[in-house]
């Protein structure tokens, strides 16, 4: 036997879970994803989401409603007569009509150890906060934001230099395996549910453009966590004057270092930058429109003298 599953997801993060459920023999009766968005080099071509593309390759019908306010869209969802909906980074808050639109409800793969980091950006926020561990959770969805009871949990350690991109890729695979296990248990009527703790709730707000600029007037540990949490996207940056014009330089990797001076001062020829407490060494950088380069290669093309103030 197998479950009739509606899959709901959008980015690359969701794709391994879709593939895992299909490989497990479940019947994926539909894939819901965000509508195609403008993209391409000029931003003129409509780009299908990674889930949209993966579902088409698997021969799964794809639906892209803007929302579920229209009763016709809600009825279409119900008409699939699915046992369960699996949701991984879909990108829409689901109304009650959808949460109750399958026989067994909706189960979400969420990239944190709930109730810590409910919300939109749990991977980046965990690193930026200096957390040493996070994980994946499968939870049964309810109307609140990531408030539903938890079914399964897998903890993942966050290394001292792990970036947001590296943690994303690790959790993406962990989440696929965990959801496959959860659906097997659900099919066997053996999936436990535990109400989330009321203490320890923290919200992972969406990353805003205003917080991506590096503030060297913070302790070095915080600066380092900020850089790696936002790497590779959207990317932490500082401003450097090049040929008389200010240019944003994205920093993709860093490491804690020693040194002392006014915050933002370049201390040596290895791009060690003074912070409020200690220093950070910038090890991988990228100019706008350029390739990501190690510090030595970056400095060969863009010299930055000791004593320069970065802002």
Assess whether 105 and 41 both reside in one domain. yes
- What is the distance between the alpha carbons of residues 61 and 55, in angstroms, rounded to a whole number? 7
Average pLDDT over residues 96-107: 98
153: closest CA among 191, 113, 124?
Answer: 113
Instruction: Provide the residue range defining the domain that includes 13.
Output: 4-203
Selection from 125, 171, 143, 151 nearest residue 11 by Cα: 171
308 found inside a domain: no
Q: Does the residue 310 lie in any domain?
A: no
From CA 194, how far away is CA 135, in angstroms rounded? 16
Q: Are residues 184 and 221 in the same domain?
A: no
**Interior CA angle at 238 toward 235 and 242, to 5°?**
120
Of the three residues 183, 203, 223, the one that is the final residue of a domain is: 203
| Exposure string for 26-41, b = 16+ CB within 10 A, e = fewer | bebbbbbbbeeeeeee
Residues 30 and 9 sit within 8 Å (Cβ to Cβ): no
Instruction: Report the alpha-carbon distance of residue 72 to residue 64 in Å, rounded.
Output: 13
The answer to whether residues 216 and 189 belong to one domain is no
Instruction: Give, in degrees to the nearest 5, the angle at Cα 272 between 266 and 273.
Output: 55
Label residue 44 by pLDDT band (50, 70, 90): confident
Whether residue 106 is found in the same domain as residue 245: no
| 309 falls within a domain | no
Q: Confirm whether residue 303 is marked as ligand binding.
A: no
Residue 27 inside a domain? The answer is yes
Is residue 45 pLDDT above 90, yes or no? no
Whether residue 136 sits in one domain with residue 199:
yes
Q: Where are the alpha helices (DSSP H) in the chain?
A: 15-23, 50-57, 71-79, 96-99, 122-128, 164-187, 220-229, 295-301
pLDDT grade, residue 311 (50/70/90)? confident
CATH of the domain at 266: 3.10.25.10
What is the spatial distance between Cα 239 and Cα 308, in angstroms, rounded to a whole number?
Answer: 11
Look at residue 75 and tell me if it is in a domain: yes
Same-domain status, 124 and 231: no
Judged by average pLDDT, the poorest of 40-44, 96-100, 196-200, 253-257 is 40-44
Residues 85-100 have pLDDT tens digits of 999 999 999 999 999 9
**Are 101 and 237 in the same domain?**
no
pLDDT beyond 80 at 42:
no
Q: What pLDDT score does 51 carry?
A: 98
Domain count, the chain: 2
pLDDT greater than 80 at residue 1: no
Q: Are 154 and 197 in contact (CB under 8 A)?
A: no
Residues 131 and 179 in one domain: yes
The reply to whether 231 sits in an annotated binding site is no
Q: What are phi and psi of 3, to 5 degrees?
A: -90, 150
Q: Per residue in 236-280, pLDDT tens?
A: 999 999 988 999 999 999 999 999 999 999 999 999 999 999 999
Residue 190 lies in a domain: yes
Together in a domain, 196 and 266: no
Q: What is the CATH number of the domain that holds 127?
A: 3.40.50.170
**159 confidence band (pLDDT: 50, 70, 90):** very high
The arithmetic mean of pLDDT across residues 101-121, rounded, is: 98
Higher pLDDT, 120 or 1: 120
The proportion of the chain whose per-residue pLDDT surpasses 90, expressed as a percent, equals 95
Rounded CA separation 221/64 (Å):
42
pLDDT at 120: 94
Rounded Cα–Cα distance for residues 106 and 261 (Å): 54
271 and 131 share one domain? no
pTM check: above 0.75: yes
186 and 162 fall within a common domain: yes
Give a yes or no: residue 56 inside a domain.
yes
Q: Is 113 annotated as a binding residue?
A: yes
Confidence check: pLDDT of 40 > 70: no
Q: Is the residue at 307 inside a domain?
A: no
pLDDT at 43 over 80: no
104 labelled binding-site residue: no
Q: How far is CA 154 from CA 13, 82, 114, 129, 182, in A?
A: 16, 27, 11, 20, 12
| Calpha distance 202→63 (Å, rounded) | 33
Q: Decide which of 203, 233, 258 is a domain's last residue.
A: 203
Residues 6+ apart with CB under 8 A from 297: none
Confidence of residue 59 (pLDDT cuts 50, 70, 90): very high
Residues 188 and 225 occupy one common structural domain: no
């Amino acid at each position: 036997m197998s479950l009739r599953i509606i899959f709901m997801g959008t980015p690359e993060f969701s794709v391994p879970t879709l593939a895992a459920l299909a490989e497990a023999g479940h019947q994926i009766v539909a894939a819901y994803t965000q509508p195609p968005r403008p993209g391409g080099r000029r931003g003129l071509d409509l780009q299908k989401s990674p889930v949209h593309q993966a579902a088409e390759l698997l021969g799964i019908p794809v639906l892209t409603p803007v929302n579920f306010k229209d009763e016709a869209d809600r009825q279409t969802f119900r008409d699939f007569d699915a046992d369960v909906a699996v949701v991984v980074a879909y990108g829409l808050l689901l109304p009650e009509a959808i949460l109750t639109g399958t026989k067994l409800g909706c189960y979400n793969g969420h990239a944190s150890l709930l109730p810590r980091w409910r919300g939109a950006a749990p991977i980046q926020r965990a690193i930026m906060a200096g957390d040493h561990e996070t994980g994946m959770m499968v939870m049964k969805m309810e109307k609140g934001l990531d408030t539903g009871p938890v079914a399964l949990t897998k903890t993942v350690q966050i290394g001292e230099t792990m970036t947001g991109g590296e943690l994303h890729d690790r959790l993406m695979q962990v989440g696929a395996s965990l959801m496959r296990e959860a659906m097997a248990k659900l099919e066997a009527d053996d999936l436990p549910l535990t109400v989330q703790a009321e203490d320890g709730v923290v919200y992972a707000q969406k990353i805003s453009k205003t917080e991506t600029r590096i503030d060297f007037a913070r302790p070095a540990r915080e600066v380092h966590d900020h850089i790696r949490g936002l790497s590779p996207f959207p990317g932490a940056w500082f401003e450097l004057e090049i040929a008389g014009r200010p240019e944003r330089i994205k920093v993709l990797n860093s490491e804690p270092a020693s040194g002392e001076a006014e915050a933002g001062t370049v201390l040596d020829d290895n791009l060690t930058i003074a912070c409020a407490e200690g220093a950070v060494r910038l090890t991988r950088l990228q100019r706008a429109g350029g390739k990501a380069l190690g510090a030595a290669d970056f400095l060969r093309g863009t010299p930055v003298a000791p004593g320069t103030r970065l802002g």
